[in-house]
Structure 1
Amino acid sequence: MIAGVLLTLDLIQVAEKARLRIIIVGAGLSGIATAISAALSGHTVEVIEQAKELAEVGAGLQITPNASRLLKYWQLPSSLWEAAAEPTKLTVHRYSGEVLAHDGAFDKSIRAKYDAPFVDLHRVDLQQALFARAKDLGVTFHLGEKIERIDFDSTTVYSVAGKRFAGDLIVAADGLWSKCREAFVGKKDEPIPTGDLAYRIVLNTEQITDPDLKSLVQNPEVHFWIGPGAHSVGYSLRGGQMYNIVLLVPDNLPPGVSKQAGSVDEMRELFVGWDPILNKFLTYVENVDKWKLMHHGEMEKWVNDKSNLVFIGDACHPMLPYLAQGANSSLEDGAVLGLLLGHMTKKTQLPRILRLYESLRKSRGEAIVRETFKQRHDFHMHDGEEQQKRDEIFLSQLGKELNGAFPSRWTCPEVQPWLYGYDAIKEVEKAVLENPDLFSQTSKGRQSFCTIL
């Protein structure tokens, strides 16, 4: 017993020597997820965010099992799950309303396959729950600090206000318009338009007077409407008290404009002739914004040569929303990075750990990006021969167990398991076992120590 206690104390002393001071740039989902995972691994974490407050803005998020299991693992409050809506069904409609695909037991099949739920959340609810958990773990947040420059020689971030934040590692979690990315490549690196834009809409049940629509909202399901050059998705939020609609259409915003107030009449005109149910929802929209959908080309690497800068989330793999994996893969990134850092026993391991993180995450992140473009193609077909062949595949399996490649990756038996079956925790455990020269056999990861102690 004494020997065991001495061994544990010895490991903790080694862990203390390996404790990093981590500076995370960006308090979005990827940044706060990394903060939680790194703090659980015993590191000191500071987060820099240019917004003055984490305000209640945003719309819905579809949290798939690959990420919902992480939220459970991080022990987010029960209030988050109470604010969730778990869809019982998932339906794909042709834009006119005809059902092309339908899973009438979606919630049950997802839980049975992946031992974790598919839930729809308001972005604010998730961000606030992550924020509260990070603060409970001792993470320090510096809000209202816009980044001016980064000194990689001293691992220091300087803000426009003149403050400096120095550490051992900088995590670039500052999204699509990443200043860290510009510092890394040494030039302006603006995102590229995809040719699409999004109208994002959130309706409250109080706004909806139609009893059929209200029932649809209060009994959560996911509905897709797919059509020529566009598609729409609708799902419930906050236990069926709100309805989130995203309309994805050709981009007509001026060059250089990423967001603009939209015309409700123009928006409705785009969906004339579409399913009456979708159009009934649109009659309740009073105002709307247009968001240009943008992306970046693949980065050659996610870690700099000095091994003191690492990229996560939209800063390195921004995703179109067509598979709802932008938030989910960002949470995966944060979990993997933090868990790997929990196995450090000396700081000299950091360069190899960061490159292991890159090898675990880069290929998957970029593969998901490519898959979103494939989903866009299959959902946006114009009427014609290709669309007819697609619909034949849909209808040939309607009401049957799906087999082989399927035009909707949301239930595709090939793509869905690859997306939803990913377990970041197990992936790290496997990587540690496969790299015995990097991780000593006595290192169990500091997140384990946090649980034990």
Structure 2
Amino acid sequence: MDNVTIPPEARLNVTIVGAGLGGLSAAISSALAGHSVRVIESAKELSEIGAGLQISPNGSRLLQYWGLPPSFWSTIAEPTELTVHSYSGEVLTHASGFDKDIRQKYQAPFIDVHRADLQRALYERAVELGVLFIFGWRVQNVDFQTPSVTSATGETLECDLVVAADGLWSSCRKAFLGDADEPPNPTGDLAYRIVLRVDEIEDEELRRWVRNPTVHFWIGPGSHVVYYSVRSGNMCNIVLLVPDDLPPDVARQAGSVDEMKRLFEGWDPILMRFLSYVNKVEKWKLLHLKEMKSWVSKESTVVFMGDSCHAMLPYLAQGANSSLEDGAVLGTLLGRLKTRDELPRVLRAYENQRKTRGEAIVRETFKQQDSFHMQNGPEQEARDELLRLGPGCSESSPYFPSRWTCPKVQPWLFGYDAISDAQNAVL
């Protein structure tokens, strides 16, 4: 994509706080719209942190639109099948030809990637578009009048628009809400996040699993597990979702491998074989945010996106995807500016487009938590029977227990085109 030509009087100096996926997507989209973009990031450099991400078509079509390089696409894994198992291993529902079906339905792929690969590709594309990055710069305060951001060392950067993409523990949100800002709320679950390289695995059957990308879920009482391949089938990502037992004030802590394995005693033997290769693990408390009344400051100088305003459970893999959507909508709308006086209207259009969908996805993740974590009993048995019948059984009912293949939820999630939505918005 080439940069959009906008009138000189409409060109903004945009400062984006945070170089996560949301901030990078906003940087690319805003630069393509013709604005001058600067990203400030508290980390001293981009690093190989994180694990796997599932990018559904609503996200991957944006990566295609933004022109991410072939070097990124060579790292992806595109799952050919999606399977939901009971915790004992029984196949409850199975979608073969998942890759072809998704591409046919949504004209974009479902891909599994390593977060670091995607972050690096987005960063390099942003640099190519002329975005300036400042690392090791932590926001201490935000002036909503100027507007400007000030660091802990007292350095101040002025601009026309501040985009708050600084995540769950957002400094910008704290400045915006003041004493009304509440800490993130526990969801009742925590995650053990595991990445295994294929060369660490001696079991030949497990190596074939990794080499041939698929997605698997195991669902059980109070817990579930997600498995998929990344990095072209050279690595797998496993996330174990279990009841939260961390202290209230602890969000992340080293975990015990033995304790983790005990939680899954009696589960599918193939899952336990994967876990036998785990040498260390961390526990991550899963948190979410209370809905914010507004994502835009009354001065129309600061706008929020991503986890800073709609952090969610990872149970529909939409945290990253919805952040990409936010950035795409914001930048596309900024590309429709004719004068700076139109900025308040454009930011309200962004809020109208994104707030309803973002918060609806948050609510849907909790419904998936309920569906996947049922205790054994009549309700769980009814759920399993619906899964065995397949997605077609839910055509006339409220939902299919696996929203990944639900005929109502999947099109709503995967079929969304953020750029088209923004291009067609009424300003």
What TM-score results when the alignment is normalised by the length of structure 2? 0.97
Check the 8 A contact 1:295/1:318 in 2, yes or no. yes
2:413 aligned with 1:413: no
**1:317 aligned to which of 283, 292, 310:** 310
How far did residue 396 of structure 1 move?
2.1
Distance in 1, Cα, partners of 2:373 & 2:317: 16
2:58 aligned with 1:66: yes
2:390 aligned with 1:397: yes
Check the 8 A contact 1:172/1:312 in 2, yes or no. yes
2:116 aligned with 1:124: yes
Cross-structure match for 1:221: 214
Larger Rg: 1
Distance in 2, Cα, partners of 1:345 & 1:140: 24
2:155 aligned with 1:163: yes
| 1:320-379 Cα deviation digits (max 9, x unpaired) | 000000000000000000000001010000000000000000000000000000000000
Check the 8 A contact 2:76/2:112 in 1, yes or no. yes
How far did residue 46 of structure 1 move?
0.7
2:136 aligned with 1:144: yes
Secondary structure (helix, strand or coil) at the match of 1:328 reads helix
Aligned residue type for 2:165: A
| 1:25-63 Cα deviation digits (max 9, x unpaired) | 111000010000000001011111100011111100000
Check the 8 A contact 2:145/2:301 in 1, yes or no. no
Check the 8 A contact 1:93/1:225 in 2, yes or no. yes
Match runs of 1:335-346 below 5 Å: 335-346=328-339
What TM-score results when the alignment is normalised by the length of structure 1? 0.91
Aligned residue type for 1:103: A
Match runs of 1:24-39 below 5 Å: 24-39=16-31
Secondary structure (helix, strand or coil) at the match of 1:355 reads helix
Over aligned residues, Cα RMSD in angstroms? Answer: 1.2
| 1:127-155 Cα deviation digits (max 9, x unpaired) | 00000000111111110011111111210
2:9 aligned with 1:17: yes
Distance in 2, Cα, partners of 1:345 & 1:119: 37
Distance in 1, Cα, partners of 2:390 & 2:347: 44
**2:344 aligned to which of 345, 351, 357:** 351
Secondary structure (helix, strand or coil) at the match of 2:46 reads coil
How far did residue 162 of structure 1 move?
2.1
Match runs of 1:414-453 below 5 Å: 414-431=408-425, 435=426, 438=427
Identity %: 62
Q: Structure 2: which 5+ runs fail to align?
A: none
Aligned residue type for 1:201: I
How far did residue 403 of structure 1 move?
3.5
Distance in 1, Cα, partners of 2:395 & 2:112: 26
Check the 8 A contact 2:386/2:393 in 1, yes or no. no
**Paired residues, number:** 421
2:367 aligned with 1:367: no
How far did residue 195 of structure 1 move?
1.1
Check the 8 A contact 1:176/1:315 in 2, yes or no. yes
Check the 8 A contact 2:13/2:37 in 1, yes or no. yes
Secondary structure (helix, strand or coil) at the match of 2:79 reads coil
Distance in 2, Cα, partners of 1:370 & 1:15: 40
Distance in 1, Cα, partners of 2:342 & 2:188: 43
Distance in 2, Cα, partners of 1:358 & 1:314: 15
Aligned residue type for 1:427: D
Secondary structure (helix, strand or coil) at the match of 2:266 reads coil
Distance in 1, Cα, partners of 2:315 & 2:262: 22
Aligned residue type for 1:68: S
Aligned residue type for 2:297: N
**1:303 aligned to which of 285, 296, 304:** 296
How far did residue 189 of structure 1 move?
2.6
How far did residue 283 of structure 1 move?
0.2
**2:43 aligned to which of 47, 51, 56:** 51
Q: Structure 1: which 5+ runs fail to align?
A: 1-10, 439-453
Check the 8 A contact 2:296/2:303 in 1, yes or no. yes
Q: Post-superposition, which runs of at least 4 consecutive aligned residues in structure 1 deviate over 2 A?
A: 400-405
Distance in 1, Cα, partners of 2:145 & 2:175: 13
Aligned residue type for 1:199: Y
2:194 aligned with 1:201: yes
2:226 aligned with 1:233: yes
